[in-house]
Amino acid sequence: MSPQPARSRSAIEVSALTVRRSKQNVLEDVHFSVPRARITGLLGPSGSGKTTLLRTIVGVQRITYGTVSVLDRPAGDPALRREVGYMTQAPSVYADLTVEANVRYFGAMHGRRRADTVDALSAVGLTELAHRKAADLSGGQFSRVSLACALVAAPRLLVLDEPTVGLDPVLRVDLWQRFKDLTTHGTTLLVSSHSMEEAGRCDFLALLREGRMLAHLTPAELRQQTGTDDLEAAFLSLIRDSEAAPAEGKRP
Amino acid sequence: MNLRSLAATALRVLRQLRHDPRSIGLILVVPALLLALVYFLFENETVPPGAPRTFDRVGLMMLAIFPFVVMFLVTSITMLRERTSGTLERLLTTPMHKADLLFGYALAFSLMAALQAVVASGVAYYVFKLDIAGSPGLVVLVAVVNAVLGVALGLLCSAFARTEFQAVQFMPVVVVPQILLCGLFVARDRMNEVLEAVSNVLPLTFSVDALLEVAGNVDATDAMWNDVAVLSLIVVAVLTLASLTLRRSSA
């Protein structure tokens, strides 16, 4: 393992990031940072490049131009595989295994024990269904298995791509509380969503649109800047502003 | 390589299989049934006293072909699912080493292959009185090496398929020529030069040769060990190629 580099205040630093795919810029000159031990929400309409940005951070997407540093190392550095947990947007679990076998397997890849599996299952409310085959679950339950597979690793950075899609409101509130608890233990979360209701639960927001970073601020700043309490309306107003003055993305 | 994640992977693959009784049937029961079919095909053949029955030759070769074909099929589909379901990409973001995945697969399926070989050769020996000189243990050994070869080729081929349908299309391309040229239908020394030369470099040829050595000699021969060594080298080479298809990042 390479020597521990100097510790910066951000868990993730993205600078001048451009990703080209099939001759199109999916991300264009993105600058953005994610503070440690906080929840940062990555928001934007579908097709805005959220998943691509998350994929560059976990190191599975090749970078065309720019730099992405994660926990003071370049994204994709082998040492990061121990530190970063990733939940893909489409649930990536084994449909022909039980819920518990899935979580235990991904836990084993991180050297976790059975007790961690139990914890992760209770966090997503699947304790009762632990011995059911994943294929027999409903869509929402299935994606919770995928989330548990990311939580079980107990990494320092959790990158979650739309983790609460298809969840009932009660469970959604529970999970956000769980995310909050994780940050008090020093875990950094980067969570993508297209629900503005969830944006209010984040400490920081990054708003992405058509591959460009529109704004990077706290929910309070967003409300203040746009003069509305409704985050949905605030986001729309930001988009309108950016269309009026398309030259530069706003940065606080 | 990390033994714990290798073992966890092998266990996981076996667990997936356990939930799929049909695949278990394909691995354990179908070879025995096909052997029975071959036996009854040649049931009424008249051979001069002392001469080997056709079943002794064909049945023996089938013991080499089964594990290869079945494991190629099962592995290429399982691995393709791993690629398309996103679980592979997810695994590659964990500390797991690529070798843990490949050898985990190889370990799980060679266990199944060993069981398959025990069942199939048990049926061949005790039910159909397959007549061979060498030890049944060596037959199982060759079958297992052959299964690992099928696993390795399946892992590699899955990289070039996008759907399960495409994966199955590799059967006639990769597997059938090897069966045609391994000496099952025409003895290899009676093929024309070009076909014999091709046959000389096909992996399945070495396993059939190895089994013929086991059949013809009471003790393990150097030629048999030679075949097994060549097979093992091919397996390592194919697994290495397969590991190159497991990319951690994509464009």
ipTM of the complex: 0.85
pTM (2 decimals)? 0.86
pLDDT at A71: 94
Interface residues on B facing A, Cβ-Cβ cutoff 8 A? 4-5, 8-9, 12, 15-16, 19-20, 85-87, 89-96, 248-251
**Average pLDDT over every residue of B221-237:** 94
3-state helix, strand, coil in chain B (%, to 5): 75, 0, 20
State the DSSP H helix or E strand holding residue A73, giving kind and residue range, or none if neither.
strand A73-74
pLDDT at A250: 44
**Average pLDDT over every residue of A131-143:** 90
Give the separation between CA A216 and CA A233, rounded to whole angstroms. Answer: 16
Say which range, A74-78, A246-250, B5-9, B86-90, has the weakest mean pLDDT.
Answer: A246-250
Give the separation between CA A213 and CA A31, rounded to whole angstroms. Answer: 7
A145 residue type, one letter: V
The closest alpha carbon to B146, from B186, B109, B184, B101, belongs to B109
Give the separation between CA B229 and CA B214, rounded to whole angstroms. Answer: 15
8 A C-beta contact, residue B133 and residue B215: yes
The closest alpha carbon to A49, from A92, A14, A10, A91, belongs to A14
pLDDT at A3: 56
Would the CA dihedral through A136, B106, A77, B241 be positive or negative? negative
Give the separation between CA B51 and CA B117, rounded to whole angstroms. Answer: 26
- List the domain boundaries for chain A: 11-83+158-252, 93-154
The closest alpha carbon to A167, from A230, A125, A207, belongs to A125
Residues B108-135 pLDDT 10s = 988 998 899 889 888 988 898 888 888 8
Better-predicted residue by pLDDT, B23 or A3: B23
8 A C-beta contact, residue A53 and residue A40: no
* Cβ <8 Å between B250 and A61: yes
Write the DSSP symbol of residue B52: P
| Neighbour-count burial for B74-85, b at 16+ CB within 10 Å, e otherwise | bbbbbbbbbbeb
Give the separation between CA B149 and CA A189, rounded to whole angstroms. Answer: 43
Instruction: Give backbone dihedrals phi and psi of B132, rounded to 5 degrees, phi first.
Output: -135, 155
Better-predicted residue by pLDDT, A179 or A231: A179
pLDDT at B202: 93
Give the separation between CA B212 and CA B216, rounded to whole angstroms. Answer: 6
pLDDT at B193: 92
pLDDT at A245: 63
Instruction: Give backbone dihedrals phi and psi of B200, rounded to 5 degrees, phi first.
Output: -60, -25
Better-predicted residue by pLDDT, B68 or A3: B68
Suggest the residue from A94, A131, A149 to mutate for an interface test with chain B (most B CBs closer than 10 A). Answer: A94
Distance linking the first and last C-alpha atoms of chain A: 36
State the DSSP H helix or E strand holding residue A144, giving kind and residue range, or none if neither.
helix A139-151
Give Cα separations from B231 to A46, A241, B146, B176, B198 (angstroms). Answer: 50, 67, 8, 18, 16
pLDDT at A145: 93
Give counts: helices (H), strands (E), chain A.
Answer: 8, 10
Considering only CB atoms, A81 lies closest to which of B85, B94, B249, namely B94
Mean of per-residue pLDDT scores for chain A: 88
pLDDT at A251: 46
Q: Residue B188 pLDDT > 60, yes or no?
A: yes
A23: left (phi over 0), alpha (psi -120 to 50) or beta: left
Mean of per-residue pLDDT scores for chain B: 90
Strands A39-43, A65-70: pairing kind: unpaired
Q: Residue A1 pLDDT > 60, yes or no?
A: no
Share of chain B above pLDDT 70, in %: 100
Considering only CB atoms, A109 lies closest to which of B19, B85, B96, namely B96
Residue A9, C-beta contacts closer than 8 angstroms, at least 6 positions apart: A35, A36
8 A C-beta contact, residue A213 and residue A178: no
Which residues on A lie below 8 Å from B12 (Cβ)? 94, 97, 101, 105
* Cβ <8 Å between A82 and B15: no
Q: For B79, which residue in chain A has the nearest alpha carbon? A: A94
Residues B136-148 pLDDT 10s = 889 889 988 998 8
Residues A164-191 pLDDT 10s = 877 788 888 888 998 999 999 999 999 9
8 A C-beta contact, residue A98 and residue A127: no
**Average pLDDT over every residue of A183-206:** 89
Retrieve residue A242's tokens. 């950016």
Give the separation between CA A210 and CA B165, rounded to whole angstroms. Answer: 36
B211 residue type, one letter: L
- CA angle A216–A220–A224, rounded 5-degree value: 95
The closest alpha carbon to B203, from B47, B34, B64, B41, belongs to B64
Interface residues on A facing B, Cβ-Cβ cutoff 8 A? 21, 58-62, 76, 81-82, 84, 86, 88, 90-98, 101, 105-106, 108-111, 133, 149, 153
pLDDT at A252: 46
pLDDT at A44: 86
B175 residue type, one letter: V
Please list the residues that pair with A206 across neighbouring strands.
A42, A216
**Average pLDDT over every residue of A229-248:** 75
Give the separation between CA B4 and CA B100, rounded to whole angstroms. Answer: 9
pLDDT at A191: 95
For the segment(s) A11-83+158-252, the CATH number from 1.10.3980.10, 1.10.10.350, 3.40.50.300, 3.40.50.150 is: 3.40.50.300
The closest alpha carbon to B92, from B251, B250, B246, B239, belongs to B246
Q: Residue B151 pLDDT > 50, yes or no?
A: yes
pLDDT at A249: 45
Write the DSSP symbol of residue B134: S
Please list the residues that pair with A17 across neighbouring strands.
A30
pLDDT at A224: 86
The residue written with tokens 């009762």 in the block is A128
Say which range, A28-42, B16-30, B41-55, has the weakest mean pLDDT.
Answer: B41-55
Considering only CB atoms, B251 lies closest to which of A62, A95, A133, namely A62
Give the separation between CA B35 and CA B57, rounded to whole angstroms. Answer: 12
Q: Residue B230 pLDDT > 90, yes or no?
A: yes
Identify which of A95-104, A119-128, A157-166 has the greatest average pLDDT: A95-104
